Structure 1
């Protein structure tokens, strides 16, 4: 009988411990990732409670008013250019844009974090309670300016981050629309203007992925920096050929870089060399590098929803592995994630989580909560990041990214021209950063069906960098 009592006590203690642990985990999850639950359309409790609260304001990093409430409606920025530029980051009350600030931060905007005393005061005063206001890391004026640089009629995205903190200054998706004048034609637009390409758009990274392949080479090939590689312009794998830009096999026209170092191959974006590199490194090791940089991870960031990027795991033939090394195959990545990877190179190997929320302000203007940067992780050594910085600088000074160069400024970058399902037009990519202490900014630009990244995306990045440098000098 005593043995049975001891057994029951142990079982009870274990069950009690499990209950406490589950409760603690639930409280942690609700506090850390509760935004997703409060933003969910299936949360009928939150939806009903929102009717009793006037939503708080939304401000950019400079205090520029982006959204505010009257008793009966939600108002957005007076400047139409700002409204259009910020619409995908903000979202709108009609939920045309899902997972924007208006829905994802409703836990604050609708006062779900208010204290019992605050709720009681509103109740006994007989007034509709006002939710908290949020101060974002975004820069509305920069966003409007960057939007004006994007090619008219083209779809794509542009992201700017502070690579030391992860603060997101721009999260732009194209085409844009005005939340105050949504028409039926807006809803029927085949370019899907409600779709936030900056964080939801999954693109082939093209040659921007050579940053990942180059890192894997530095990790796995001891002579990667000193070896002489040979680009013949043509790599045959069975009946398939891997070629470089400018090659036309049907015209017997072949682009060959000849003998070159890995630095030079990166600078001129040699597909042949990077395809051979991937085969030599091996799919398992290249996958390990890519996953450390966030591929195949389930992103659960505090401030925003980012679609998961993917490195393919099935049908890994030599052809697929080789094309992966050059940034094609079935690789998919968001512009936000490419900006994170680029930021890690700039930040001595430390990748920061994207950060959109700076402060939460109570209705009386007092700070309820402040938010600190979070590191995603150390994804490369400082020595490796130094090598990649220098190679990315070489791309801008004498490679495929010269149109991003700014006199007297350390601009580093990588271009890409990503093919899609055999389509003739490629997506134009540029990712890069300012290696400047007073202007620690990284950028990711993709323009769909636009051609070469060096000729289309790099000039956009240059003008954004010039704007940022001007602001930093003030």
Structure 2
């Protein structure tokens, strides 16, 4: 009996050990698969990965081009024969392309592995290896359009801020500018100054994708949709504006204290009437307000191939003071957005409610002209119904034809938009200038845009004309 008991005990111990090893083995397989599927790219593309220096021993870092074939980054040699990374347009594409030196940023970082891979013919690679020559790395062709980028960059001028423009039907990023900027050709020389966090201007920050701003009146797009989803129709709304709205002993003023008089919803939107929209906000079902914002990607990671895109913030609940809800409804309060997010929002309106995932790289080409890879446009999903998008388009059209942007020269383009003037300090006379919207030319070609100019003032006076310049540069006049 004792021997049998001992045998059973040993078998049980063997079984337990086998189960433990089995669990460990399965865990290792799961971890390995997760690494291959999700984490390997982040590890390989880490800008401080020492293996890049090994690749660089055999391959010349490939060039980066605009969609129209202009070199934004290329490798040349100095007088002593050393390889030098050169950025012909200096600051123009700094945040999109990035830099090499003190680590890497932008496309130089996220596609470094691709730029240091060579897909020229095997015979040429062997020949180069035998003769001690480097093979040429693959070329990166982006979605960026030179003329649109130049218009955006020049339009920002001396203002800090950002411009991002996207083809709403594909998700291609056509322009992406952020200021303050830097010259990637001199990143090593001026690194301490550029990276001085005490200065507070954050030249390395890509404000287009990573900025966090109060949306101002551009947020009235969200409030309008929440109002309609709360069981209201556009014909239900009627409001007499006297230039101010009082709630919880807090007064919300219309821009310039202007009294808009009797308004329906369309007129309140095109006039960007703060009083009307504050009144809408306090009457909204808060759960519907919150869920509408989240359907439009607030409080969520943005679906995009752009690295580090910042999530926007929105929060309303049953305990939120009515004065805060009223401020939130007009794009103030504690809500923050990135220009990228606002551009994605209006892109979906331009695309019948369907959102395409934004991306910057169109294709990778070997030095001998073979296509290594191409990016296929990816549909994220329907963030609003086509009927909702159609109604919002009608409202955004009224802004341009009979509202706050009616004096802006958009040429012959069909334009839909929303201006915004966002307070960001206790001094309410200093405001950010916003414009979000999209344009269509006679051939049906579309471009969506978000513009923010920090501290510039009225959206109709500064941001909207800048958007018009970008539209014309890309779509024609």
Question: Which bracket does the TM-score occupy, shorter chain normalised?
Answer: 0.7 to 0.9
Is this contact kept in 2: 1:38–1:106, CA < 8 A? no
Match of 1:279 in 2: 282
Q: Among residues 106, 111, 115, which one is paired with 1:100 in the alignment?
A: 106
Q: Among residues 425, 433, 439, which one is paired with 2:430 in the alignment?
A: 425
Is this contact kept in 2: 1:359–1:370, CA < 8 A? yes
Match of 2:205 in 1: 195
Name the SS for the 1:403 alignment partner: coil
Match of 2:225 in 1: 215
Task: Summarize the Cα distance change of 1:449–1:19 in structure 2 as closer, same or farther, 3 Å threshold.
Answer: same
Match of 1:238 in 2: 248
Match of 2:446 in 1: 440
The more displaced of 225-234 and 276-285 is 225-234
Which has the greater radius of gyration? 2
- Give unpaired runs (5+ residues) of structure 1: 248-254
Task: Summarize the Cα distance change of 1:68–1:453 in structure 2 as closer, same or farther, 3 Å threshold.
Answer: same
Is this contact kept in 2: 1:229–1:260, CA < 8 A? yes
- Looking at structure 2, the residues matched to 275 and 377 of structure 1 have their Cα atoms a distance apart, in angstroms, of 30
Return the offset for 1:325: 0.8
Match of 1:26 in 2: 35
Task: Summarize the Cα distance change of 1:301–1:469 in structure 2 as closer, same or farther, 3 Å threshold.
Answer: closer
Match of 2:97 in 1: 90
The more displaced of 2-11 and 444-453 is 2-11
Task: Summarize the Cα distance change of 1:122–1:12 in structure 2 as closer, same or farther, 3 Å threshold.
Answer: farther
Match of 2:307 in 1: 304
Return the offset for 1:83: 2.8
- Give unpaired runs (5+ residues) of structure 2: 1-7
Is this contact kept in 1: 2:151–2:469, CA < 8 A? no
The more displaced of 361-370 and 264-273 is 361-370
The more displaced of 417-426 and 386-395 is 417-426
Q: Among residues 455, 466, 472, which one is paired with 2:461 in the alignment?
A: 455
Match of 1:262 in 2: 265
Q: Among residues 66, 75, 95, which one is paired with 1:60 in the alignment?
A: 66
Return the offset for 1:305: 3.0
- Looking at structure 2, the residues matched to 11 and 159 of structure 1 have their Cα atoms a distance apart, in angstroms, of 53
Return the offset for 1:268: 0.5
The more displaced of 444-453 and 399-408 is 399-408
TM-score (norm 1): 0.86
Match of 1:252 in 2: none
Deviations 1:186-217 (A, max 9, x none): 63675343322111221111011111111111
Aligned runs of 1:239-388 on 2, under 5 Å? 239-247=249-257, 255-299=258-302, 301-312=304-315, 316-388=320-392
- Looking at structure 2, the residues matched to 123 and 317 of structure 1 have their Cα atoms a distance apart, in angstroms, of 70
Name the SS for the 2:299 alignment partner: coil
Is this contact kept in 2: 1:403–1:462, CA < 8 A? no
Is this contact kept in 2: 1:58–1:136, CA < 8 A? yes
How many aligned positions are there? 456
Return the offset for 1:23: 3.5
- Looking at structure 2, the residues matched to 115 and 282 of structure 1 have their Cα atoms a distance apart, in angstroms, of 63
- Looking at structure 2, the residues matched to 285 and 270 of structure 1 have their Cα atoms a distance apart, in angstroms, of 22
Name the SS for the 2:210 alignment partner: coil
Task: Summarize the Cα distance change of 1:281–1:17 in structure 2 as closer, same or farther, 3 Å threshold.
Answer: farther
Is this contact kept in 2: 1:396–1:405, CA < 8 A? no
Match of 2:3 in 1: none
Task: Summarize the Cα distance change of 1:101–1:95 in structure 2 as closer, same or farther, 3 Å threshold.
Answer: farther
Is this contact kept in 2: 1:160–1:339, CA < 8 A? yes
TM-score (norm 2): 0.85
Task: Summarize the Cα distance change of 1:118–1:38 in structure 2 as closer, same or farther, 3 Å threshold.
Answer: farther
